[in-house]
Amino acid sequence: MTPPDIGISTPDDASRDDDGSADDSPGFDIQARIFAAIGSFMTLVSVGYGLISREWAGTTMLALASGLAFTVGAYVGWNKPPGGTSVDEAQHPQEADEPWFPTASGWPFALALGMVLVANGLLLGLWLLLPAAAFLAYAVAGFVRQSRFRA
Rounded mean pLDDT of 139-149? 83
Neighbouring CB atoms inside 10 A of 95's CB total: 7
In this predicted structure, the answer to whether residue 18 has a pLDDT above a threshold of 50 is: no
DSSP characters over 69-118: HHHHHHHHHHTPPPTT--HHHHSPP--SSPPP-PPP-SHHHHHHHHHHHH
One-letter identity of residue 59: T
Higher pLDDT, 150 or 119: 119
Contact call for residues 124 and 103 (beta carbons, < 8 A)? no
Q: Residue 146: pLDDT band by 50, 70, 90 thresholds?
A: confident
**HSE of 119 in the Cβ direction (CA atoms, 13 Å)?**
6
Q: What is the pTM of this model?
A: 0.47
**Alpha-carbon Rg for the chain in angstroms:** 25
**HSE of 5 in the Cβ direction (CA atoms, 13 Å)?**
0
pLDDT at 84: 64
Residues 6+ apart with CB under 8 A from 130: 121
Question: Over the stretch 42-92, which tens digit does the pLDDT of each residue have?
Answer: 999 999 999 999 999 999 999 999 999 999 999 888 876 666 666 566 666
Question: Over the stretch 99-136, which tens digit does the pLDDT of each residue have?
Answer: 666 677 888 999 999 999 999 999 999 999 999 999 99
